[in-house]
Structure 1
Amino acid sequence: MVPPDQPVTRPVIRPVTPHVPLGQHPAPTHTIAHLSDPHLLADGALQYDAVDPEAGLRTALERLRRLPHAPDALVFTGDLADEAEPSAYVRLREVVEPVAADLGAQVVWVMGNHDERSTYSRLLFDEESDAPQDRTYDVRGLRVVALDTSVPGYHHGEVTDDQLHWLAGVLAEPAPHGTLLALHHPPIPVPMLRAAEIIELADQHRLAEVVAGTDVRSILGGHFHFSTYSTFAGIPVSVASASCYTSDPAPLGRFVSGVDGHQAITMVHVYDDRVVQTVVPLGDAPEVSGVLPTVTAQLEALSAEERRELLSRKDSAFNRGELAEELGRW
């Protein structure tokens, strides 16, 4: 992970030519980076005297610079500050906003159960408010709705009648590319983390009645500290892991086990007819094989038939290792 005092300064690598699909599907219309639960603490403090949440956040942001599609937005689904300390929100902006600007990405903040509305609204939006922090964002025609499911003084989630009425009004008019609903408490079962059942989103059927049949294409959540997937009212749900510590879904002799490992973010690629979610682990692993990025332009210059013969045919020169120098393989 990147040390907390070391700025993320690597240049953004962008393709110099438009994306040329190498398969049958077009490029996505939108790319969204889904990050969750950074749990920043003031003054570089550690969680459980072991985990550096700022280092985890920096590592997550550094990962975004490696991706083939620069994200259009960074969506943070809650628990931004572990103890809702004002300086933690200030530091959050100092770390995230310069990277987002470099990437050309909007930042979407979502309230979590560890956040406090008054501090959150004042330091992230320059507003004084104790009301639910519900907002909409226009990401090149893709609508992102940040829904505040927090309950003051509690860790479980709720959505009030007023919020449901507001959400129904927002969704009454479809967006050009549809809607992503971002909230902290995912409206799904959690069979791998029984403790989370106690602090889940309450009365989920009421939210289902509002989103069913609308243009909501995917629901993004956090809260559980591990990646998981489901559906809700016929809508795909994707829960991103945390960038700080994670929950072990298969602990040994524990009801709940928080571990310093398996941190990840989720990339959301939106197409005209579908949404693709991909888990991106934050920790580096030893590479055992690789192909240099210079191969991309060479493959794009070939026809679809030539690419298939070169890479798919088992006895091709590439798969026999005879084109290593030409295609940058090592």
Structure 2
Amino acid sequence: MRILHLSDTHLERTDTPNKYGVNATDSLRLMLAELRHLRDVGAVVVTGDIADDGAVEAYTAVRDLVGEFARRLGAPVFYTTGNHDERDAFGKVLGSGHPEPVLVLESEASERAAVSTVGGLRLVTLDSLVPGKVYGELGARQLQWLKGVLSTPAERGTVLAFHHPPISLDISATQPFFGLRNPGELGEVIRGSDVRVVLTGHYHLQLCGLLESVPVWVTPGVVNRIDLTAAPGTERAVRGASASLVELDGAAGPMFHTFHACDPRAHETVYELGEEQVAAFVEREA
């Protein structure tokens, strides 16, 4: 089983450059064009921040672009929410995030979480969105639902996908504050289960770690990436669309590979935040 993992497309309401001068739609088109030679992909997973401002038009554009690409692969597409997403607009275009879910979470908050089975592999998408905040959280209702889902093992195990990583790097000025707020509670639910890997996004860079001995993969963003060679306490974003291939089977699985689009303007600075700007941003969101 191979999974193509995309995240953080950040499409705008219209096909125009964003406030940083990056056209997110062009970044997605370029990344998909670079991936045209991929074969034997069983699923495409997009882990949130699909629309930059929650616009229906942005969800429609991503659905159409990624959907057309995935149809050529013969692979279903699964979507999760991110902190930039808006649940009602997401639902209008993408529904539960699954084309044919076998189970959908019913909650008062209308969280977008669902379960599907692909070739014996169970794929569970969760909703870590906290409206108005950059950090994420999985609420008690959702975790209890997930515990029930995992109580019965799947034929080929389970993949979890959501936006906010339950791991972080201390050398990043923002990751320790902007990830999943309750990784320990999630860890208790997946401990001893058949979860094979956790797929996330949000940080706009690749990162791998463990949660209860389960590999956690953070795929870099499609719209841009974060460059951690910036001075301590600052943050720099640079041009460059990226995606990941997750290889689950084989003696060495799971394995993770990162693709970078051949952009002639790759590595150009998109924005920089100084220490005071980062500190103010973190304090406001904490």
TM-score, normalised relative to structure 1: 0.73
Alpha-carbon RMSD across the aligned residues, in angstroms, is 2.0
Cα distance in 1 for residues equivalent to 2:62 and 2:48: 12
Cα distance in 2 for residues equivalent to 1:229 and 1:47: 29
1:123 is matched with 93
Cα distance in 1 for residues equivalent to 2:210 and 2:10: 27
Cα distance in 1 for residues equivalent to 2:132 and 2:81: 13
Cα distance in 1 for residues equivalent to 2:229 and 2:42: 34
2:69 is matched with 99
Bigger proportion of residues as strand: 2
8 A contact 1:31–1:269 mirrored in 2: yes
1:168 is matched with 147
Shift of 1:64: 2.6
Is 1:268 the counterpart of 2:246 in the alignment? yes
1:39 is matched with 10
Query: Which one-letter code corresponds to 1:77 in the other structure?
Result: T
Shift of 1:197: 1.7
8 A contact 1:117–1:130 mirrored in 2: no
The 1:159–1:105 alpha-carbon spacing in structure 2 relative to 1, beyond 3 Å, is same
Structure 1 stretches lacking a partner, 5+ long: 1-29, 286-330
CA deviation map 1:42-65 (0-9, x unaligned)? 111222342111111112222332
Cα distance in 2 for residues equivalent to 1:282 and 1:122: 31
8 A contact 2:7–2:243 mirrored in 1: yes
2:190 is matched with 211
Shift of 1:95: 1.1
The 1:86–1:130 alpha-carbon spacing in structure 2 relative to 1, beyond 3 Å, is farther
Matches within 5 A, 1:15-34: 30-34=1-5
Shift of 1:272: 5.4
Cα distance in 2 for residues equivalent to 1:145 and 1:277: 19
DSSP-derived class of the 1:138 partner = strand
Query: Which one-letter code corresponds to 1:256 in the other structure?
Result: E
Larger Rg belongs to: 1
Deviating 4+ runs (over 4 angstroms): 126-130
1:308 is matched with none
Query: Which one-letter code corresponds to 2:72 in the other structure?
Result: D
Cα distance in 2 for residues equivalent to 1:44 and 1:284: 18
Query: Which one-letter code corresponds to 2:47 in the other structure?
Result: T
Matches within 5 A, 1:1-330: 30-67=1-38, 69-125=39-95, 130-252=109-231, 255-261=234-240, 263-271=241-249, 274-283=253-262
Query: Which one-letter code corresponds to 1:193 in the other structure?
Result: S
Structure 2 stretches lacking a partner, 5+ long: 98-105, 265-286
8 A contact 1:192–1:250 mirrored in 2: no
Query: Which one-letter code corresponds to 1:73 in the other structure?
Result: A
Aligned length: 254
Query: Which one-letter code corresponds to 2:175 in the other structure?
Result: A
Cα distance in 1 for residues equivalent to 2:250 and 2:192: 17
1:317 is matched with none
Query: Which one-letter code corresponds to 2:216 in the other structure?
Result: V
Cα distance in 2 for residues equivalent to 1:66 and 1:284: 17
Cα distance in 2 for residues equivalent to 1:189 and 1:88: 29
Shift of 1:86: 1.1
Shift of 1:203: 1.9
Cα distance in 2 for residues equivalent to 1:249 and 1:74: 27
| Structure 1 range deviating more: 161-170 or 185-194 | 185-194
